[in-house]
Amino acid sequence: MFGEALRRRRGEKTLASCLGKVGVKMASWSAARCLFLLCCFGLCVSSSSRAPAQVRLVSERPGERPASLDRDWPAVVTHTHNWRFREGETTGSFSAAGEQLVRWCWDLGIRAVGVGSAWNPANEANFERFEGPDRDLYYSGQFDQKSVMDVAGVKATLTELNAQSRGSTLFYLDNETPKNRMGHMWWFGYLYDYPAWHDYSQDQPIKYYENDPSVEINALTGEPHTRRNLFEIVAIQRRAGAIGVFAHPTRWWVSNGKFTSNIAAMSGLFLIADGSLDGMAVMGDRVYNKPYQDLWFSFLDTGGKVPGFAETDFFLNQVMHHNELDTFRNYPHIGNRPLTARAIRDAARSGEVFFSNGGFLNVSVDGVPMGSVVRTGQSKRHRLRIEVYPAPNSRLGRIQIIGKHGTVLAVKDNFPGGVLEYEIPGHDEPDYVVVRAFGSGDDPDHDPDQVRYLAVSNPVYLWPPGFHREPARTLCRLRVALGSRWIGGSLEFQTADGELLRREPIHAGIISLSEPADSRIVLSKKGLQSRMFYIAMENADVEKDIWYLSSGEFRKDYPGLPQSVVPPQAFRLESLREALNRFEYEIR
């Protein structure tokens, strides 16, 4: 303020001096000063007129919620565990739990459930065995891992649930896997390729890359425990048509002085490597989880597609303890298609999904649905259509239109439900539109953790002509040492799921190539066991950024954080982008 006042006084003195030189007397100085201020005002008006136009309400049409919406947009519960117990709990009856589950779904209008492991008592017993006393045996290479999948038993569990529901609820296969220090995932269209616990290592120091400081020796082999890394798992699932959702992306806690991470530490890496994500949980643990949403917006700010979803993490054998408020549901647009696991997966892939604990929310821009792209530009104006209704036996509160950086562009209060239409400005840079609808009395600004009702749309993406976020590429510089045991063999660059990109003979010297950031290298030579690794997982700079999250090191830079809060900056997207530009590795 002082600096501005000083500049203004200097300007007035300069103007007074100039006017004096042309014969303007002090008596007329007051008029000259007014002229100066009017000129300044004119400049301000001129400047503001070049600012982007604001969001403008065009029409509002109150109305009742049509019954057809419940058929076209079925409620789907995801990220569950069918037969799980906390320490000290009694198991009860498996058949009675199934009956309760079917009745609970009917009461809440749940049309589909992704059923996660453990799927039944036999599966739970194998969990206890192979995550417990026979863990070393299972991972020793001396045991047929697929022999304990019990595919028939898992299918029978789903068949029985679907028979009991008589078509009112679809029960389809899901699983929360992997579960490790770098994050958890659940799936639409899950491929059951190994036993449910196969990629678990939540509380164990598993080795994921060559210089990984986390090491636990398998007593039967004398070698470190290893697991498939997330690039390999995702590639296998995608090849089968599945899409993976990063679970509870900022969840962590400290118990008895020990830091435990459920953070989706590799979500940022996948976002930069692929240019998009299959999905991430945005509603979970509580209906308005602000840290989840803040992270989501920061990911969307990169210009990539990032569909958001709701998750429950429920033990389905205990669903009677849950009600409509804490049952967070996805509502994919199925329309007139039969309700199948494939249809749900396809809708999830398209991003034409909203999520809530009972409210309805459908958003389009220029007739283009959620999850899709509208081409935009600075001179364009777009028509945003919002169809919104409160959850049964409740009322709507604040409706927010959200843009880039999570900025609230417009607010509508006390709308009873129906259709709102807005005019929104275009931009020359990638942007998006998301809508949130809170319940009556909810205060997301001052009391976010006490929000009771919320519906959130997926984005409609506003991209300028020609824009598309491309997957990252990495310049690989591989040094083959003179005494390398691999000399005379071959090196293959492969896609993440094993498709050959190129093959090179291995000889002493430098191999320098640019390849997709999610690709992998396979070293082969007669007489040696082949070695496969993903270039991103062996990138030391990448691993530093992943470790920063998974180890809890970020808390040093953000002291006093409540549990399950991770600032979006801690995901270090720009650092990951820079790290993925190059990869140096010595083949010994």
Please write the tens of the pLDDT for every residue from 466-490. Answer: 999 999 999 999 999 999 999 999 9
pTM over 0.75: yes
Please write the tens of the pLDDT for every residue from 356-409. Answer: 999 999 999 999 999 999 999 999 999 999 999 999 999 999 999 999 999 999
d(CA 164, CA 166): 6
Take residue 256 and report the two structure tokens written for it.
Answer: 């008895």
Parallel, antiparallel or unpaired: strands 243-246 and 183-188: antiparallel
Please write the tens of the pLDDT for every residue from 90-143. Answer: 788 999 999 999 999 999 999 999 999 999 999 999 999 999 999 999 999 999
Q: Which amino acid is at 220?
A: L
**DSSP reduced 3-state for 211:** coil
Of all residues in the chain, what percent are helix, strand and coil, respectively (each to 5)? 30, 30, 40
Neighbours of 430 (CB within 10 A): 20
Contacts of 43 (CB under 8 A, 6+ apart): none
Q: Does domain 473-587 have CATH number 2.60.40?
A: yes
d(CA 261, CA 61): 46
Residue linked to tokens 């969990």: 127
Please write the tens of the pLDDT for every residue from 416-460. Answer: 999 999 999 999 999 999 999 999 999 999 999 999 999 999 999
Take residue 564 and report the two structure tokens written for it.
Answer: 């399950």
Cross-strand pairs, 504: 491
Cα dihedral: 115, 120, 122, 123 (round 10): 20
Predicted confidence band at 203 (pLDDT cuts at 50, 70, 90)? confident
Take residue 344 and report the two structure tokens written for it.
Answer: 């749900």
Lowest-pLDDT choice from 9-13, 169-173, 536-540: 9-13
Average pLDDT, the chain: 91
pLDDT-above-90 percentage for the chain: 89
CA angle at 78 for the pair 188 and 338, rounded to the nearest 5°: 60
Predicted confidence band at 561 (pLDDT cuts at 50, 70, 90)? very high
406: exposed, middle or buried (Cβ count in 10 Å: 0-12, 13-18, 19+): middle
Neighbours of 230 (CB within 10 A): 25
Cα distance from N-terminal residue to C-terminal residue, the chain: 64
In the sheet that holds 500-505, the strands lie side by side as: 500-505, 490-494, 520-524, 531-534
Whether the per-residue pLDDT at 14 is higher than 60: the answer is: no
Report CA Rg, the chain. 28
Angle between helices 121-130 and 151-165 (to 10 degrees): 140
Question: Do 70-360 and 473-587 fold alike per CATH?
Answer: no
d(CA 449, CA 564): 13
Inter-CA distances, 102 with 69, 158, 163, 313, Å: 22, 12, 10, 17
Whether the per-residue pLDDT at 208 is higher than 70: the answer is: yes
d(CA 37, CA 32): 9
Take residue 35 and report the two structure tokens written for it.
Answer: 């002229």
Predicted confidence band at 53 (pLDDT cuts at 50, 70, 90)? low
Lowest-pLDDT choice from 85-99, 220-234, 248-262: 85-99
Please report, for the chain, the start and end positions of each structural domain, with discontinuous segments joined by +.
70-360, 473-587
Q: Please provide the CATH number assigned to the domain covering 70-360.
A: 3.20.20.140
Contacts of 556 (CB under 8 A, 6+ apart): none
Length of the chain: 588
**DSSP reduced 3-state for 53:** coil
Angle between helices 290-300 and 267-274 (to 10 degrees): 20
Average pLDDT of the segment spanning 496-524:
96
Inter-CA distances, 113 with 56, 258, 300, 565, Å: 39, 34, 28, 28
Neighbours of 477 (CB within 10 A): 14
Whether the per-residue pLDDT at 27 is higher than 90: the answer is: no
Q: For CA atoms 79, 82, 85, 89, give the dihedral sign.
A: positive
d(CA 568, CA 571): 6
Whether the per-residue pLDDT at 2 is higher than 70: the answer is: no
pLDDT-above-70 percentage for the chain: 91
Instruction: Using alpha carbons, select from 416, 279, 247 the residue that is nearest to residue 353.
Output: 279
Whether the per-residue pLDDT at 575 is higher than 70: the answer is: yes
Instruction: Using alpha carbons, select from 340, 355, 202 the residue that is nearest to residue 282.
Output: 355
Q: Which amino acid is at 26?
A: M
Please write the tens of the pLDDT for every residue from 147-166. Answer: 999 999 999 999 999 999 99
